Structure 1
């Protein structure tokens, strides 16, 4: 059974303020990387948190035949992996212990398999040498990679990554996006919030652009990243074009006054 995601009439946010309002998008297909773009306060993180059950939500978010909205946390954790923008400070666990604790807390895998899954995730993200380091001793970029490993450790069908490259140097940004691409090739649907339009253009199969909590555009990167979109959504003058390697790149020239 295909584990596509169908979002229909989704509203989510905070108790007194809806950020995402009546959002419906075309089905997001299994095995693809979807870039979630938009300016600050457009609702990108709110949407991922609503899907992950971290914020109140109404409407439908059907992953295959299962509605994620209202699903008990342990059942949701078996289907969805969520990477937040940052790991909380002051955690004295080792990296390895933190992955095991995350798997056990969510019930994403049986307890006996937690250590094996944790080691596999660290290897998959290429950070196995950090396994015995304390989280509190890591740099911001290293913590971000650990958070990525925590999200993928349960082998979820849907992986939601909230700005996974924001604290990383260019090499590790490319590594993370390449891993996201591999996870999609292995069958997951990967939704990734990005502020770097060039990364989105290079790595995403499809892009959703949010503006003011609603859908502005959805489609392939070369279809939706246009001069008009950049002006209307981001307030900048720019354009997209293919480079000599055939990859779509984005050039930003100036703010539109």
Structure 2
């Protein structure tokens, strides 16, 4: 679905992406992880078509990402940037409705999709609220609802959990994973390694503009990889209730071994969790 080959990019003489090669497929939730300044968000922007690399190519399907019009891109990929601040007085409903502008007007369908997307993020009671009056977490959920309402086959989320409380962090990533299960290509930038372990099918670990590890959570989230890239002693063990790694930071430099990590990462959803009704992929 998305292929980047030999992509490099520099800012003010500093190379932030260094000959990156990556392919991202439908039906997979891929988490981009790494320390601050690793190049995650820059690669994210290049994959989204928002930043042009100095060298290399990025293809969406068989076409260069730069060959698409803005409207064509809006029908192919939905993007949640780190900064989703709205500086004008729109309601939550109006912000989410912007996701439908790239499609031919269909008032009934558009209203259904917008309503369901707002309900999906538990903001039905806030749909008339001015977005400038929302908290950081509420604003993030409204922005995620806009992504859902765009109903695209490619979804890019840059740190979607950064301002959210625990329950809504889980809810957003559970929703993102379900979109992948329905066939979407989902790319998520995350700082929380345990959230990446719990929800990603594939993890791409970056450092200094390069991909240093790429694979299933248990293949990437090892003591060797984490300590080499983050410079932080950790213990990697099994999550007590989820079949995925659990990473614990430690001050004990000697506690550098993987303990009982096995199996693919699977998270059991709450029985009451609802399916995606606001996104068609």
Fold conserved between structures, TM > 0.5: yes
Counterpart residue number, 1:149: 145
Tell me how far 1:132 sits from its aligned partner: 1.0
Tell me the matched-pair count. 249
CA distance in 1, matches of 2:69, 2:210: 27
**SS at 1:34's partner residue?**
strand
Contact 2:218–2:244, Cα closer than 8 Å, also in 1: no
Secondary structure in 2 matching 1:24: strand
**What is the CA distance between 1:70 and its match in structure 2?**
4.1
Partner of 1:128: 124
Q: Give the secondary-structure state (helix, strand or coil) at the position aligned to 1:111.
A: coil
CA distance in 1, matches of 2:132, 2:94: 13
Partners of 2:76 and 2:152 within 8 A in 1: yes
Cα distance in structure 2, aligned partners of 1:84 and 1:222: 28
For the Cα contact (< 8 Å) 2:85–2:139, is it kept in 1? Answer: no
- For structure 1, the 5+ residue unaligned runs are none
Report the TM-score, using the length of structure 1 for normalisation: 0.89
Aligned to 2:68: 71
Name the CA distance, whole Å, in 2 between partners of 1:192 and 1:148: 12
In structure 2, the partner of 1:234 is 230
* TM-score normalised by structure 2 residue count: 0.82
How far apart are the structure 2 equivalents of 1:17 and 1:231?
A: 24
1:65-144 matches, cutoff 5 A: 65-104=62-101, 107=102, 109-113=103-107, 114-144=110-140
Shift of 1:229: 1.1
Instruction: Look up the match of 2:279.
Output: none
* TM superposition shift of 1:243: 2.4
The 5-angstrom pairing of residues 196-235 of structure 1 reads 196-235=192-231
SS of 1:254's partner is coil
Segments of 5+ residues of structure 2 without an aligned counterpart are: 254-281
- Find 1:44's aligned residue among 29, 40, 54: 40
Q: 2:2, 2:58 within 8 Å by CA — same for their partners in 1?
A: yes
Please tell me the root mean square deviation across aligned C-alpha atoms, in Å. 2.0
* CA contact 1:86–1:143 (8 Å) conserved in 2: no
Between 229-238 and 55-64, report the one with greater CA deviation. Answer: 55-64
- Give the distance between the partners of 1:99 and 1:125, measured in 2 at CA: 11
